[in-house]
């Protein structure tokens, strides 16, 4: 029997909607910032800050200032080169207006913009912030002049104007998130502080300031971040309230095939693992190939060292698991590359397969060398590996062991492993 199919004569070209300009962003903001809750709201700040960080990584910026203003406005200033303001050949508009109002427009697509490494590679960041703001103003300092232009919900509101002279260079973006998009507009001061501190650790030698000027008098607290120690200092900051078993942290810094790899690691007496991975300073919260490469190499390097010295000969399982060698570990894995493949605009996971190979190789080589060059540390633990064997065997083969007993054994194991570092 032929199924009863509805007549679809009313489905014609008239029902096809074409969203132009930044309209798709306002229609489906979750596709670009992950959602319209507080996380998405703060993502607006991160997108603008990312552009400033890109200038810093390119060597053109040394100072970034984020200011929280009355009426839920936020400004981000960097002393970089300033967004170009000359006329764009393709759009016939100024380069500034093009970047602010057009998706996938920017200097990070290999067009000679000087960005060997960048986080805002999709070219949608600042235009998305513009689309989701009820008001935005761009100020550009370059060529001895100050240029200004205003926007409203992603559309140009005023013409580009030269409003005076200035000796400084850079870009200042001020925006007001749209209450029609975000049901709650409340920028968390501590949330922004934590993010900016993280960025300062990842971009050593750059000064990042945060100022709270939301009071009526325009006065409030401020913080400044500047770290020469980079991610090694970051690991120490994370472990500041814990008993660290190797300090300073082990640090790796190497570039292979145009992929820069930085890793810092330290063990604590904590039970938990604290792993943070970044690609071009973007926090890849879901990990990716760089984290996988590190984990694989860490497990292999420690197992290879143990087997070489016959410390695992009595182990039934034949080796230590990844969970074994990571317990109590705090580590930062940071990679910088020209063509990162992120999953989605929120960039929560890195997908480049070549990064796994490079990170694996760099980590394994550095760890193996480090362990072999620290025989005095190994000698301090003459029964260490045999203890690890009995500990691991006990954890694996004795299901009757209580959680507390297993945790105590693993904590002792972690303490002994850490002494190698």
Q: Supply the pLDDT for residue 241.
A: 92
350 φ/ψ angles, rounded to the nearest 5 degrees: -95, 135
Q: Supply the pLDDT for residue 148.
A: 97
| Contact (Cβ atoms closer than 8 angstroms) between residue 259 and residue 355 | yes
Write out pLDDT tens, residues 242-265: 988 888 899 999 999 999 999 999
Class of domain 230-418: alpha beta
Q: Supply the pLDDT for residue 385.
A: 38
Q: Kindly state the DSSP code that residue 6 receives in the 8-state scheme.
A: P
Ranges under pLDDT 50 in the chain: 109, 121-123, 376-403, 405-406
Query: Please, what's the largest Cα pairwise distance for the chain?
Result: 83
Q: Supply the pLDDT for residue 269.
A: 81
Structure tokens given for 177 = 């998130």
Q: How far apart are CA 253 and CA 266, in angstroms?
A: 15
Please count the residues of the chain.
421
Q: Please give the C-alpha separations between residue 135 and each of 37, 42, 156, 256, 405, in angstroms, as whole numbers.
A: 19, 16, 10, 44, 59
Q: What is the dihedral of CA 202, 207, 213, 219, to 10 degrees?
A: 140
Would you list the domain boundaries of the chain?
A: 23-225, 230-418
Q: How far apart are CA 374 and CA 23, in angstroms?
A: 60
Of 3.40.50.620, 3.30.70.380, 3.30.565.10, 3.50.40.10, the CATH number of 23-225 is: 3.30.565.10
Same fold, 23-225 and 230-418: no
Q: Supply the pLDDT for residue 364.
A: 96
Q: How far apart are CA 376 and CA 231, in angstroms?
A: 27
């Amino acid at each position: 029997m032929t199924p009863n199919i509805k007549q679809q004569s009313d489905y014609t070209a008239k029902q096809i909607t074409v969203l132009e300009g930044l309209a798709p962003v306002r229609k489906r903001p979750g596709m670009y910032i992950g959602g319209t809750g507080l996380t998405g709201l703060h993502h607006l700040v991160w997108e603008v800050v990312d552009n400033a960080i890109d200038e810093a990584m390119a060597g053109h910026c040394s100072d970034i200032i984020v200011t929280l203003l009355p009426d839920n406005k936020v400004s981000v200033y960097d002393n970089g080169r300033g967004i170009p303001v000359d006329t764009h050949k393709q759009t016939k508009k100024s380069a500034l207006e093009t970047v602010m109002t057009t998706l996938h427009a920017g200097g990070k697509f290999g067009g000679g913009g000087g960005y060997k490494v960048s986080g805002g590679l999709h070219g949608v960041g600042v235009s998305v912030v513009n689309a989701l703001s009820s008001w935005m103003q761009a100020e550009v300092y370059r060529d001895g002049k100050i240029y200004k232009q205003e926007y409203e919900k992603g559309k140009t509101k005023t013409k580009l104007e030269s409003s005076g002279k200035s000796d400084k260079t850079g870009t200042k973006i001020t925006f007001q998130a749209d209450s029609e998009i975000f049901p709650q507009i409340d920028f968390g001061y501590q949330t922004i502080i934590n993010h900016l501190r993280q960025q300062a650790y990842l971009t050593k030698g750059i000064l990042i300031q945060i100022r709270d000027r939301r009071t009526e008098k325009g006065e409030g607290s401020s913080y400044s971040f500047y770290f020469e120690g980079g991610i090694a200092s970051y690991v120490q900051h994370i472990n500041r309230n814990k008993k660290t078993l190797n300090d300073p942290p082990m640090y790796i810094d190497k570039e292979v095939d145009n992929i820069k790899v930085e890793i810092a690691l330290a063990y604590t007496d904590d039970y938990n693992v604290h792993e943070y991975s970044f690609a071009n300073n973007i926090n890849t919260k879901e990990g990716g190939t760089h984290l996988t490469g590190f984990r694989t190499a860490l497990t292999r390097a420690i197992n290879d060292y143990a087997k070489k010295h016959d410390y695992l000969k009595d182990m039934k399982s034949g080796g230590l698991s990844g969970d074994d060698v990571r317990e109590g570990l705090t580590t930062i894995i940071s990679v910088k590359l020209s063509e990162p493949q992120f999953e989605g605009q929120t960039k929560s996971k890195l997908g480049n397969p070549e990064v796994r190979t490079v990170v694996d190789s760099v980590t394994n080589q550095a760890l193996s060398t480090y362990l072999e060059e620290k025989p005095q540390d190994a000698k301090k633990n003459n029964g260490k590996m045999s203890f690890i064997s009995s500990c691991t065997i006990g954890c694996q083969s004795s299901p009757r062991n209580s959680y507390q007993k297993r945790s105590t054994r693993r904590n002792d194991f972690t303490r002994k492993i850490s002494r190698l570092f």
